[in-house]
Copies of this chain bind each other. A is one copy, B any other.
């Protein structure tokens, strides 16, 4: 998606060899006008798939998931990273290894919100090592729901996550696919 690629070229910053900072518009400060265009594109890509729920993971996926859900006219569920006393025992759980934080944590979703009849679209801001999506996929499978696919804003295509998730038979749509990046040459996107 040209709009997102251009925004990353303009406002994204490469740090070291593998960190792409897009926190001025995607995942700390959030440009909701941009999110509307991204949500419209996810709708175009997954139109006709009968999506009944969008599932994301806290925290940075929630904004883009909520704006996107307006186009699908469906609710959002976000998987939580720790058990709170507001969540009762009836939860699906899986594990996620955070690329950013360098640790493993549990994610949970209440069983009452993820039903066997649901057709679930996963939405997240980044796809790098694929751990977050794998965790979400396991929640959907535990619930016996149908997984429609995964929509991510930015895929770091030089990391293994995209290949891994696609090899599981899951449809993955990334609005911008980074082929390579460096502080010297900036961000290079995959063709087509």
Residues of A within 8 A of B (CB): 19, 21, 23-25, 28-33, 35-36, 58-59, 62-63, 65-67, 69-70, 73, 75-78, 80-82, 84-87, 100-102, 109-110, 112-113
> A28: which B residues are within 8 A, CB to CB?
77-78, 80, 87, 109-110, 113
B24 touches A112 (CB 8 A): yes
* CA–CA, A29 and B24, complex, Å: 27
B23 touches A86 (CB 8 A): yes
* CA–CA, A33 and B76, complex, Å: 11
B77 touches A29 (CB 8 A): yes
B29 touches A75 (CB 8 A): yes
Of all chain B residues, the one with the shortest Cβ separation from A16 is B85
Of all chain B residues, the one with the shortest Cβ separation from A13 is B88
A66 touches B24 (CB 8 A): no
**30 sample A-B contacts, Cβ–Cβ < 8 Å, listed by A number:** A19-B86, A21-B86, A23-B110, A24-B113, A28-B78, A28-B80, A28-B109, A28-B110, A28-B113, A29-B76, A29-B77, A30-B66, A30-B76, A31-B75, A32-B70, A33-B70, A35-B66, A36-B70, A58-B58, A58-B62, A59-B59, A59-B80, A62-B62, A62-B63, A62-B66, A63-B65, A67-B70, A84-B100, A84-B101, A85-B101
* CA–CA, A59 and B108, complex, Å: 14
Copies of this chain per assembly: 2
Q: A58-B58, A86-B21 are in contact. Are A30 and B77 (CB under 8 A)?
A: yes
**A103 CB, min distance to chain B CBs, angstroms:** 11
Task: Give 11 new A-B contacts, CB below 8 A, not counting A19-B85, A33-B70, A62-B63.
Answer: A28-B78, A28-B109, A30-B78, A31-B75, A33-B73, A58-B62, A59-B78, A63-B63, A67-B67, A85-B101, A86-B100
* CA–CA, A59 and B67, complex, Å: 15
